Amino acid sequence: MTSISYVQQQHITRLCVRCGLLLMQYGAESAVVVDLSKRLGLALGMDSVECSLNFNALTLTTICDERCITTTRDTINQSINVNLLVQIQQIVNRTEAVTDNNNNKLKSELTDRTTLAFDALDKTVYPTWLVGVFVGASCAAFAYLNGGSWSITGVTFIAGMVAMFTRIYLSKHHFNPFIAVIVTAFIASLIGATTYYFDIGNNADIAVASSVLLLVPSFPLINSFSDILKGYVNIGIGRAVFTYMLTLSACVGIVMALVLLRIQHWGF
């Protein structure tokens, strides 16, 4: 007789795959996704947990008393949320802290408490206006540090802020991420390139270059290199291609703006 029923193992399997999906969707690297999903299953009484990742899917198998349950889930890319990743890690740590794993009733109660903890995850994000203001400020600071005058810094601030508002709006309305980046880069470059037409500041190139700083996919690119180095080559290559396509989309948006404004020479 098994110590854990089939229904309870199903519940644990769904909980483990839910953990992995949330980690993938909000920007965790593959090693963290696999590690936390396995640790959660083992802490809830499974004999073994196997996890396989693809760029847009997760397959997870739990094994208990030679009985296997396998499930596959599709993933949906969300914005990066490190706070959420930390909360999930804390839930797994609290689950592992329960030392008595031989009590079947305790396992069931622990599974229910862990499920409630996942239901209570704090997914709140900063207000849109605050994100836009700080992104604009970061672009403006980059322009100033690269020798831009105060007028160039001001134009860059407006361009970066408006571009971030645009990107958030398009993301909320589920536009294709590449289309969203093209439109965002186009608007940012269009506003930044007004420094050419109105002869604002000491170097108009700085405003155009700094206004699209928010489109640099640094976090996904780091994750892709980390995945490849840690042996998750398939998903690492997928993430790398995704980041390169985002970079290409940003270049397309910039070129469209410069062509529209008939700016034939640009660059430092």
Look at residue 247 and tell me whether its pLDDT is greater than 60: yes
Decide: 110 and 95 in contact? Cβ < 8 Å.
Answer: yes
> Which pair of tokens denotes residue 104?
């079947």
- pLDDT score at 207: 87
What average pLDDT is seen over the chain? 88
Confidence at residue 1, expressed as pLDDT on a 0 to 100 scale: 41
Tell me: pLDDT of 12 over 90: yes
Buried residues in 192-225 as b, exposed as e (16+ CB within 10 A): bbbbbeeeebebbbbbbbbbbbbbebeeebebbe
- pTM for this structure? 0.84
* Distant-in-sequence, close-in-space partners of 109: CB < 8 Å, separation ≥ 6: none
More confident residue, 137 or 218: 137
Residue that wins the pLDDT comparison between 204 and 34: 34
Token reading at 162: 């408006």
Phi, psi torsion values for 94, nearest 5 degrees: -65, -40
Give, in order, the Cα–Cα distances in Å from 62 to each of 21, 34, 56: 16, 13, 21
Residue 142's pLDDT band, with cuts at 50, 70 and 90, is: very high
* Residues β-bridged to residue 67: 64
Separation of alpha carbons 259 and 231, rounded Å: 43
Among residues 37, 59, 40, 62, which one has the least CA distance to residue 49? 62
pLDDT in the model for residue 100: 59
pLDDT of residue 268: 45
Q: Measure Cα distances from 247 to 174, 233, 254, 261, 266 in Å.
A: 19, 21, 11, 22, 18
Tokens representing 170 are 């398009």
pLDDT band at 111 (very low <50, low <70, confident <90, very high): confident
More confident residue, 76 or 265: 76
Q: Residue 68: beta bridge partners? A: 63
